[in-house]
Structure 1
């Protein structure tokens, strides 16, 4: 899985490892991957890769193919999280968000296809919609880059159906991933935003990464054998 070094990715890697899967995690930070692998358990393959760079994606899948063979479950989880107001958004910020969240996800899926087993499951990590728009000022670029995943999910599900490969998306809402350190917000801004989202959720709390991991595990399992092209929102009811 990509983005397996922290947060939802780490929780999902732990879940699959506990269920007996051979796990490979990828991310940009070698030290974070090393620490994550120690938390997950024995025999975890780590690959340092930036999904915004196609040559790194090639390296990822050549390494996985060499070390582990064909892929039964792919979790496309790597993501860029950052917020800038409309009038303040820079070209560099826009490019980085789309390089990782849209381009990176698309080419990760594309380049994985030759390595997927027939009947494999692919899960993309999207973004739960939060309406009305005033609840999410400054998130225009980020949410647009994540919205592309919904389109990828549906089209890939149709294209890969002849090989019985299912493609779905899990879209987390306010999840406590405080260990990730990825949100590009002013000091205190991330914590305040999360408090606001927790207060807005009917369940009045943040979700846990393990709760998203459980949904990913379901989509990867035989219990979801007739589920493809779908998006499951895990947000405590905030988008209801």
Structure 2
């Protein structure tokens, strides 16, 4: 359909999972796509897999200098950004009583500091009327054992959107949040212990998903593209759950 023909789209954390699936979807719709990743080998593989007009920038989005490097690469080719998908993030399990400073600092640096400065440093390039989509999580709205630090970062991301739509209202820049549930990605499999253990955990969670299945990166990509499109022009500051209904029951 080429809905995003010649649009400039940024996808941070675009080398795997949701980021990769979303970058592919935008490229298939005719966009010029920039992705980031921390490992050059994975970045090169993602660029090849995406095809089309895609540029990979090696960057750790928790580092402000790397964020600057991303936008320098964009400016070398384009005058403005139409869509920013601030997706880079991660985390791990640590129960209260076993949370150390490194776990806290690393998780907040990537998921909160990184998202904040990814958006703030994009402002000079963001087109008036642009769309910003942030990756939240169902964990930002639910309780999860041993996952409090990650969950807190995603609650923060959700509230960034509520506040930023006020800061950006004069420029008509929309900011929304897509919050995935159980999505079949390599990152989730690693979090759940990998292999048969991960499959067992995902299977045990099916009873709490009314849709009766685990989500796929493409499910989230479709939601991101909707929020980024003109079809969502009156949707602003919202959180769209892509979780098969699990947070609604």
Where on the TM-score scale, by shorter chain, does this alignment land: which range? Answer: over 0.9
Match for residue 33 of structure 1?
43
Aligned equivalents of 2:96, 2:238: Cα separation in 1: 30
Is residue 171 from structure 1 mapped to residue 182 from structure 2 by the alignment? no
Q: TM-score, normalised by structure 2?
A: 0.90
CA 1:160–1:183: 2 relative to 1, 3 Å: farther
Question: Does structure 2 retain, via aligned residues, the 8 Å contact 1:118–1:163?
Answer: yes
Residue 66 of structure 1, CA deviation:
1.3
Is residue 217 from structure 1 mapped to residue 219 from structure 2 by the alignment? no
Q: Point out where structure 1 has 5 or more consecutive residues left out of the alignment.
A: none
Question: Does structure 2 retain, via aligned residues, the 8 Å contact 1:81–1:183?
Answer: no
Task: Output aligned runs, 1:1-240, within 5 Å.
Answer: 1-129=11-139, 133=143, 136-178=144-186, 180=187, 183-184=190-191, 186=193, 190-240=198-248
Aligned equivalents of 1:182, 1:109: Cα separation in 2: 29
Runs of 4+ deviating beyond 2 Å: 129-133, 180-199
Residue 181 of structure 1, CA deviation:
6.9
Q: Point out where structure 2 has 5 or more consecutive residues left out of the alignment.
A: 1-10
User: What is the aligned-residue RMSD (CA, Å)?
Assistant: 1.7
Provide Cα deviations, 1:20-56, integer angstroms capped at 9, x if missing partner.
Answer: 0000001111111110111111331110110111111
Question: Does structure 1 retain, via aligned residues, the 8 Å contact 2:13–2:35?
Answer: yes
Residue 190 of structure 1, CA deviation:
4.1
CA 1:130–1:97: 2 relative to 1, 3 Å: closer
Aligned equivalents of 1:4, 1:169: Cα separation in 2: 17
- Which structure would you say has the larger RCO, counting Cα contacts within 8 Å and 6 or more residues apart? 1
Q: May I ask how many residue pairs the two structures share in their alignment? A: 237
Provide Cα deviations, 1:189-222, integer angstroms capped at 9, x if missing partner.
Answer: 5444333333311122100110110010001111
Aligned equivalents of 1:132, 1:71: Cα separation in 2: 33
